[in-house]
Amino acid sequence: MENSGFYSIFGKSFKIMQKHRILTFILLIFIAFGCKNEHTASSEASVSEEKNETKAPTFGIVIHGGAGTILKENMSDSLEAAYKAKLEEAIRTGHEILKNGGSAMEAVTKTINIMEDSPLFNAGKGSVFTHEETNELDASVMDGATLNAGAVTGVTQIKNPIDLALSVMNDSPHVMLSGKGAETFAQEQGFELVDPSYFYTENRFQSLQRVKEREAQKADAEKMVFTDPFIKDAKFGTVGCAALDKNGNLAAGTSTGGMTNKRWNRIGDAPIIGAGTYANNATCAVSSTGWGEYFIRAMVAHDISALMEYKGLSLEAAAKEVIQKKVPELGGDGGIVSIDKDGNVAMEFNTAGMYRAHMNAEGELVIGIYSE
């Protein structure tokens, strides 16, 4: 009987201990689960805070107004001030569009319009003269998001060729239209044709006369093109723009009157996609200015993008490789402006000067003319 009572008491104690252990185990599970939830909530809050602290989308714009033998000693203070003022007006126009959430393509075309309307630059109003004393204008645009592009060549009655290039891209099944056909298309799209006399400027006309006089002094005019510094410099002059918008889209555009004294409806690099203009959201947007024949052969604009995409070079390194090595080795010169998908900018040239400007998302403005 005594053993029976002992076992009875022991059994009850054992059961009580088991219950306590079970309750303790359950309590530990709840505590662990609560800590896990708290950690998860803390992690989610941390991620949310990181998202809220993400930087605002970057954007930027860069322009050129031509490259060549641009020397301080040959530039009056008033002319230098005029160039700087127009470069600033142009780039601020595009920057304001980007700042307000506009597209890179809109910024590019509106910026180039400012330079096309100025007689200071070899594009639009200030276009140089052909050998026949006419003006033949070229332009192109490219959209980095779609790789779509548009270009026009040899137009003589289009006030703003960059706008017509944009229309070719958006409103036609083609990439490039030339001459009379391009102008017929322009009329169908509602463009107003201007009288060719609109493009006449006295200083450009006199430049042509000086080139012709120089040619008359030489028996071998073809050879002179490559050796006479005065004639070589007559090949430069273009305006261009590259931009990155807040949505991460890149665009580029280029517009020009070509080279002074050009013959036979010559076409340079400006309207050639991959040579004078290129944009690809995966890499960069580029606008070229220089001796077009060499920029076409080197496919300058696309080559910079390709070096970034296939070789992993930075924009700065790729631009240097093409402008400071590849083009000079062929015998050409000139420059580019470019912006990459992260907002980095390159303004690379191998001539004595290049009219250029850049503005970033913070609104910092850089304007340059000479090589130093």
The reported pLDDT for the residue numbered 250 is: 98
Task: Choose the weakest-confidence range: 9-13, 15-19, 264-268.
Answer: 9-13
Determine the Cα–Cα distance for residues 46 and 82; give it in Å rounded to an integer. 53
36 has a pLDDT exceeding 60 = no
Structure tokens at 27: 């309590």
The reported pLDDT for the residue numbered 215 is: 81
The reported pLDDT for the residue numbered 235 is: 52
End-to-end CA, the chain: 113
Average pLDDT over residues 106-129: 97
**Any residues with CB less than 8 A from the CB of 360 and at least 6 apart, and which?**
58, 59, 60, 343, 345
E strands, 120-213, in order = 137-143, 149-155, 176-178
Active site residues: 238
- In this prediction, residue 40 has a pLDDT band, given cuts at 50, 70 and 90, of very low
Average pLDDT over residues 172-197: 97
Average pLDDT over residues 153-163: 98
Average pLDDT over residues 30-42: 48
The strands making up 353-360's β-sheet, listed across from edge to edge, are 176-178, 149-155, 137-143, 250-256, 239-244, 60-68, 353-360, 365-370
Structure tokens at 189: 């799209």
Across the chain, mean pLDDT equals 87
